[in-house]
Structure 1
Amino acid sequence: MISMKKHLILSQLTLCAGLAFAGFSVQAQDVKGSAQAGQGKVWLCIGCHAIPDYRADYPLVYKVPMIGGQNAAYIASSLAAYKKGERKHPTMRSIAGSLSDQDMADLGEYYAAQTASSPNNPLK
């Protein structure tokens, strides 16, 4: 009898957790980024990502990628992974931790829109 109650409670908790995660992922997918809005937020990124061949040296020497032209969804999901701690770089984690889902989507769209012929952002 007790094991049946535990099984029922565990099933209900699993269902609730699944619904909560489903709601979270639907909410995150509903965020539409704007390259124009991202242009005003890019100051968070340019200190490292706008410098050709830049290498960060904390905590290890790390070649910082140029992210112009990268896929918007990839940038937004990478930032979300840093914010959650799934990616391990202290500087990126602290920067991503300050961003909302909208900020991440906007930055993703901004960088996705960049090409070799894009004019320089005046904030760079």
Structure 2
Amino acid sequence: MKRKMLLAIAAAGFAAGAIAATPAPAAKADPVKGKAIVDQVCAACHGADGNSVASANPTLAGQHAKYIENQLQAFKKGDRKNPIMLGMATPLSAQDMKNVAAYFSSQKVKPREAADKSQIPLGKKLYLAGNPATKVPACMACHGPAGRGIPDQYPALGSQHAGYVVAQLNAFKAGTDRKNQIMADIAMRMSDAEMKAVAEYISGLR
């Protein structure tokens, strides 16, 4: 009898330990709390609703939440080199980033038109079919025909500033501020004219 009691006590203790060792479920993203942070920290550059008016600052409205969250973490860790974003991201907790990402992703992106429509024919060709001669793949293979991307994998590009797209392609090409082997290989094969053309086409996607 005593032996059975000891075994029961030991089993109960083991079960309690197992429960204690089980990690608590991650808190859900709260876009309301995210908006509060956006209003104080992000709106000046990215717009209160995530629709940036300056080509140096990306539009974030409608962007995939996980992508935004990952980029904020990359800025905080220094994997992406940007002094301004380092300062903005450093004070944010993982939950703050999740909340901000949830808010921006819930906003509606404002359609944009290509500023230089003469670039659209070449840009469309590159985006939809790539350049077989230089082994540049079609952008839509990863980012979708309408530029909506693939959640958690590839960012949405539609209605993004053309100037920002060009800047990021050059960053991938240089391999200094942004490190992504796939995008680096693609950007290395693109001429400046091709970058400009595809960026103009992307800015008009919706």
TM-score where L is the length of structure 1: 0.60
What is the CA-CA distance between 1:30 and the residue it aligns to? 2.6
Q: Which runs of 5+ in 2 are unaligned?
A: 1-22, 111-206
What do the CA deviations read for 1:33-74 (whole angstroms, capped 9, x no partner)?
11111111112111111174415xxxxxxx211101101111
Larger relative contact order (CA 8 Å, sep ≥ 6): 1
* Cross-structure match for 2:44: 47
In 2, the alpha carbon distance for the partners of 1:82 and 1:74 equals 12
Cα shift readout 1:66-100 (whole Å, capped 9, x = no counterpart):
10110111111100000000000000011100100
Identity %, equivalent residues: 35
Q: 1:77 to 1:31 in 2, by over 3 A?
A: farther
Is 1:79 aligned to residue 65 of structure 2?
no
Aligned residues: 84
1:35 has 2:31 as partner: yes
Letter in 2 for 1:30: A
Structure 1 runs (4+) greater than 4 angstroms displaced:
none
> What TM-score does the superposition give when structure 2 sets the normalisation length?
0.37
Relative to structure 1, the CA distance from residue 40 to residue 52 in structure 2 (aligned partners, 3 Å threshold; closer, same or farther) is closer
- Superposition deviation, residue 101 in structure 1: 0.4
Q: CA deviation at 1:31?
A: 4.3
Alpha-carbon separation, structure 2, partners of 1:93 and 1:67: 17
Q: Superposition pairs for residues 101-116 of structure 1, below 5 Å?
A: 101-116=94-109
Provide the residue aligned with 1:95 in structure 2: 88
**In 1, distance between residues paired with 2:28 and 2:52?**
29
RMSD of the alignment, in Å? Answer: 2.3
Rounded to whole Å, the distance in 2 between the matches of 1:65 and 1:116 is 11
For 1:31 and 1:85, the matched residues in 2 are separated by 25
Cα deviation for residue 115 of structure 1 reads: 1.1
Please report how far the alpha carbon of residue 111 of structure 1 lies from its aligned counterpart in structure 2 after TM superposition. Answer: 0.4
Q: Distance in 1 between matches of 2:94 and 2:52?
A: 28
